[in-house]
């Protein structure tokens, strides 16, 4: 293979480019903006930096947050202590660090918008405003707003969520997560260096509705939007059947990250999956055991085994988790109450947060722990009811 073109230089494209170039392949990364403040919370879970330790071991500015406050209507709040912090980057800083690493590994990084990608025999012709590039293989990393029609996920309205919010010049030491009535989604406040990334994501509501809900939440909390910068973007959230039919790869190309719809349908975590899919795509491109004609199938299998089947399972759970009911109350409300009252339930939710609890084994862990959890909930309920607060803190 003479040249691999990576279209898009976000986390997925930059990391794929780094891996390919480090292995000695001639690699060009094309991004229309290069490093930029892509609308995002910027949160990286323990799962991500455990897999790729350079994400925590670096000098790039970031916050490391251990404290999360989860709140739900009619249930108040519960504090979630994270043994492993959530890292929170500004996306400019994160993208910049990843592009620099790709460059250092030998990738050519160029500011250019790819207008069209056409297959010509066994190669590609990429048209940019600066001219055309001939490449042997393409890694498509153009994000959720992929403008190239012939490669990457084919979106339907059921496969995305709206996500919008503000960068607010303020400081706080903990993360806030707020569930709302009848919303398959949530509000977050992520503290970053120098500002907060505050946002809401949800399915089935217009951007205007979501913004009104976020604004009234901020008003209630007394958080001013006076000097805030507004942002909005699309968050991939593939419907359960689409995980199987997803157009993730084809003859001479593979899609990585958001361009392939690879986002956790419950938490909205996409950064880890962007990098993980990039890692796997690079492995398949580099592996001579897979001739060009079988690379797409090899990549699909690898993704499915690594995290695809789990995210597909997550997509089936999402509605039940946000909109379902348990013991005559909403699931989010019960979740908040149980975190408050049951140490073992607290640990389970903490593991979901850190990414170390997969969805496939969640149900069996819940069932295994149900008796113990309910016992702790009942004991704690009576403790709180009949004993003065200072005796059981």
Ligand X SMILES: Cc1cc2nc3c(=O)[nH]c(=O)nc-3n(C[C@H](O)[C@H](O)[C@H](O)COP(=O)(O)OP(=O)(O)OC[C@H]3O[C@@H](n4cnc5c(N)ncnc54)[C@H](O)[C@@H]3O)c2cc1C
- Using CB under 6 A, list all residues that contact ligand X: 7-13, 30-33, 38-43, 113-114, 141-143, 147, 163, 165, 199, 233, 235, 257-259, 263, 268-272, 274
63 vs 341, beta carbon nearer ligand X: 63
Q: Least separation, in Å, of the C-beta of 293 and ligand X?
A: 26
Question: Residue 248 corresponds to which tokens in the numbers above?
Answer: 């993730």
Cβ–Cβ under 8 Å, residues 103 and 18: no
| Measured distance CA(20)–CA(350) in Å, rounded | 35
What's the gap between Cα 180 and its chain centre? 20
How many secondary structure helices (H) and strands (E) does the chain include? 11, 19
3 state DSSP class of 310: helix
Q: Least separation, in Å, of the C-beta of 319 and ligand X?
A: 20
Q: Least separation, in Å, of the C-beta of 45 and ligand X?
A: 7
Q: Least separation, in Å, of the C-beta of 144 and ligand X?
A: 6
| Measured distance CA(174)–CA(65) in Å, rounded | 6
Q: Least separation, in Å, of the C-beta of 259 and ligand X?
A: 6
39 vs 345, beta carbon nearer ligand X: 39
80 vs 274, beta carbon nearer ligand X: 274
167 vs 345, beta carbon nearer ligand X: 167
Q: Least separation, in Å, of the C-beta of 387 and ligand X?
A: 39
Q: Least separation, in Å, of the C-beta of 294 and ligand X?
A: 24
| Measured distance CA(247)–CA(232) in Å, rounded | 25
Regarding beta strands 175-178 and 329-330, do their DSSP bridges make them parallel or antiparallel, or are they unpaired? unpaired
Cβ–Cβ under 8 Å, residues 280 and 19: no
Q: Least separation, in Å, of the C-beta of 33 and ligand X?
A: 4
Tell me whether residue 42 is exposed, middle or buried, using C-beta atoms within 10 angstroms of its C-beta: 0 to 12, 13 to 18, 19 or more: buried
Question: Residue 154 corresponds to which tokens in the numbers above?
Answer: 């084919």
176 vs 258, beta carbon nearer ligand X: 258
Q: Least separation, in Å, of the C-beta of 343 and ligand X?
A: 27
258 vs 279, beta carbon nearer ligand X: 258
Count of Cβ atoms closer than 10 Å to residue 327 Cβ: 11
| Measured distance CA(125)–CA(119) in Å, rounded | 6
| Measured distance CA(36)–CA(93) in Å, rounded | 8
Phi-psi domain of 13 (left: phi exceeds 0; alpha: psi -120 through 50; beta: other): alpha
Cβ–Cβ under 8 Å, residues 125 and 133: yes
63 vs 340, beta carbon nearer ligand X: 63
Q: What are the distances in angstroms from CA 136 to CA 41, 45, 126, 153, 195? A: 35, 35, 11, 21, 43
Residue nearest to ligand X (CB): 270
| Measured distance CA(16)–CA(278) in Å, rounded | 5
133 vs 259, beta carbon nearer ligand X: 259
Nearest to 15 by CA among 60, 47, 48: 48
338 vs 353, beta carbon nearer ligand X: 353
């Amino acid at each position: 293979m003479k040249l691999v073109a990576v279209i898009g230089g976000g986390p997925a494209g930059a990391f794929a480019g780094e891996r390919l170039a480090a292995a000695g392949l001639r690699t060009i990364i094309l991004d229309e903006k290069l490093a930029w403040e892509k609308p995002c919370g910027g949160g990286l879970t323990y799962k991500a930096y455990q897999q790729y330790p350079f994400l925590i071991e670096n000098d790039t500015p970031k916050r490391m947050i251990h404290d999360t406050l989860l709140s739900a209507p009619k249930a108040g709040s519960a504090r979630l202590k994270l043994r492993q912090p959530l890292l929170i980057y500004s996306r400019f800083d994160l993208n910049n660090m990843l592009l620099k690493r790709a460059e250092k590994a030998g990738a050519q990084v160029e500011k250019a918008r790819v207008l069209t990608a056409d297959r010509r025999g066994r190669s590609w012709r990429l048209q940019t405003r600066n001219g055309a590039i001939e490449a042997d293989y393409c890694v498509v990393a153009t994000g959720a707003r992929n403008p190239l029609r012939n490669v990457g996920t084919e979106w339907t309205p059921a496969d995305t969520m709206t996500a919008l919010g503000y960068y607010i010049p303020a400081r706080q030491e903990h993360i806030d997560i707020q569930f709302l009535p009848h919303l398959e989604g949530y509000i977050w406040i992520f503290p970053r260096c120098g500002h907060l990334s505050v946002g809401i994501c949800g399915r089935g509501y217009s951007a205007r509705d979501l913004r009104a809900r976020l604004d009234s939440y901020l008003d209630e909390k007394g958080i001013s939007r006076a000097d805030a910068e507004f942002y909005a973007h699309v968050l991939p959230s593939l419907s359960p059947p689409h995980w199987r039919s997803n157009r993730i790869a084809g003859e001479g190309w593979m899609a990585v990250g958001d361009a392939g719809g690879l986002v956790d349908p419950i938490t909205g975590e996409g950064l880890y999956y962007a990098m993980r899919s990039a890692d796997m795509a690079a492995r398949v491109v580099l592996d001579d055991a897979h001739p060009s004609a079988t690379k797409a199938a090899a990549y699909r299998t690898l993704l499915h085994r690594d995290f695809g089947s789990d995210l597909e399972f997550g997509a089936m759970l999402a509605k039940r988790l946000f909109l379902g009911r348990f013991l005559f109350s909403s699931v989010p409300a019960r979740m908040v109450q149980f975190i408050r009252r049951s140490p073992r339930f607290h640990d389970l939710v903490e593991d979901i947060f850190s990414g170390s609890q997969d969805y496939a084994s969640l149900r069996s862990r819940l069932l295994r722990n149900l008796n113990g959890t309910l016992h702790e909930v009942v004991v704690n309920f009576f403790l709180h009811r009949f004993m003065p607060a200072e005796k059981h803190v």
